[in-house]
Amino acid sequence: MKIGMVSKYPPEEDGIGIYTANLCAELENAGIGVVKIGDKESRTADYTVDFKSFSLKSKLKAIIEKENLDLLHIQHIAAYFTKYTLNLNVILALGQKAPTVVTLHEVHTQSSTIREKALSLIQKAITKRADAVIAHTRQQKEFLQMKYGKKEAYTAHMGVTLSHPHKLSGKNLLFFGMLNYGKGVEYLLRAMNELPDFRLTIAGKAISPDYEKILRQEAAENKLGNVKLDIRWVPDEEKAKYLREADAMIFPYTWAPYQSAAMHDAFSHGIPVVVTDAGAIGEAVKEFRCGKIVEQRSPKALAAGIKGVFGNYDIYQHGVMKYREEANWEKTAHKHGEIYNETLQSHYEAHNVIEKDREDRLARGSEEEDLDEK
């Protein structure tokens, strides 16, 4: 089997790009051929295309034909394919001769605001048009099945690298990831005033200068001096150091229709977590007891959750280890292989039905012509 994987790739500063690179490597280990199709900044891709162009369909078609691809797999978030056209370019690009699978890294279950309504419209169109869709949690998959009648919806865990499990060494907290509105880091900074025995490191690149300003102001008002800010794109070796030192990772999100790559970094190192009840991020935490789930936008709830994790650290770390068994990259790649095979089988069965129907109609037409002649 040979697939085309459409995604951003390193060295772009993008978490999904890193996720996709890991997935591709494990798929290739499993014997699945992968052609990497990235955007113009993805220098490790085999091909680059303009994700935001209306020529996307024709460019992908040319690659499919040149490489003789069996299947196209697109890693999707709306921002990749431009919000200004409601992702019409990628929706049209799903109409290829090769079957298409789409991983929805965001699954939008709410449509209260104009933004949410627009994202839901995009999600509906992609789900209906793709041959199969993948979500990272069971509840997201079930939502896609019930909301859109999409029986070809699947769950595949985000993937965990099995590093040596962390040993509790202190009370070191870490927030790692892109810093923007929706991450709720300001509430975590306020919670640190109630945690005199703990130390917090916040590391990651700020998407919004205004949000960075808010975080720096909140940190300046911290009364205990137990907060460190490292606001930038953190190189891999320093990221690894932060993960080695962290005893728990905190995710105080206020908007999370996705799973978190940073949370899976925590699981890779056997680190329990505290997350908010802001969306899909808490599903694995609840199912496997990987940490505490707390109310969002509440410094007091975050502080209580952090204390609760350290009060039962072994129990929550055991839950992390159970999740690692289910979500390691080998199993994640194997699950993708199963989805590809099922999608190909369904696609060609449907194609054969269409061809048989066409042949039957042609045969009936010939018989009618014969009768007319008689």
pLDDT, tens digit (0-9, with 9 covering 90-100), for 345-361: 998 887 665 555 555 56
For the chain, the structural domain boundaries read 2-159, 172-327
Q: What is the mean pLDDT of residues 276-298?
A: 95
Each residue's pLDDT tens digit, 59-105: 999 999 999 999 999 999 999 998 788 999 999 999 999 999 999 99
Nearest to 60 by CA among 45, 52, 49: 49
**Per-residue pLDDT at 353:** 52
On the question of pLDDT at 7 being above 70, the answer is yes
**Per-residue pLDDT at 124:** 97
Nearest to 176 by CA among 49, 263, 68, 85: 263
SS3 273: strand
**In DSSP terms, which residues pair with 133 in a beta bridge?**
102, 153
Cis peptide before 196 (omega within 30 of 0): no
Each residue's pLDDT tens digit, 146-174: 999 999 999 999 999 999 999 999 999 99
Query: b/e string for 209-230 if b means 16 or more Cβ within 10 A?
Result: eebbebbeebbeeeeeebbebe
**Per-residue pLDDT at 13:** 78
- How far is it, in rounded angstroms, from Cα 42 to Cα 54? 19
Q: Are 261 and 19 in contact (CB under 8 A)?
A: yes
Token readout for 310 is 């350290």
**Per-residue pLDDT at 112:** 86
**Per-residue pLDDT at 11:** 87
On the question of pLDDT at 374 being above 70, the answer is no
Tell me if 2-159 shares its fold with 172-327: yes
User: pLDDT-derived band of residue 315, with 50, 70 and 90 as boundaries?
Assistant: very high
CATH class of residue range 172-327: alpha beta
Q: Are 231 and 202 in contact (CB under 8 A)?
A: yes
Nearest to 37 by CA among 13, 15, 14, 56: 56
Q: Are 202 and 184 in contact (CB under 8 A)?
A: no
- How far is it, in rounded angstroms, from Cα 71 to Cα 3? 5
pLDDT above 90 covers a percentage of the chain that reads 84
Residue 172: other Cβ atoms inside 10 A: 17
**Per-residue pLDDT at 264:** 94
Residue 299: other Cβ atoms inside 10 A: 18
Q: What is the CA angle 212-80-18, rounded to 5? A: 75
The region, left, alpha or beta by phi > 0 then psi within -120 to 50, assigned to residue 17 is: alpha
- Domain spanning 2-159: CATH superfamily: Glycogen Phosphorylase B; (3.40.50.2000)
Query: What is the radius of gyration, based on Cα positions, of the chain?
Result: 23
| Exposed / middle / buried, residue 361 (Cβ in 10 Å: 0-12, 13-18, 19+) | exposed
Each residue's pLDDT tens digit, 182-204: 999 999 999 999 999 999 999 99
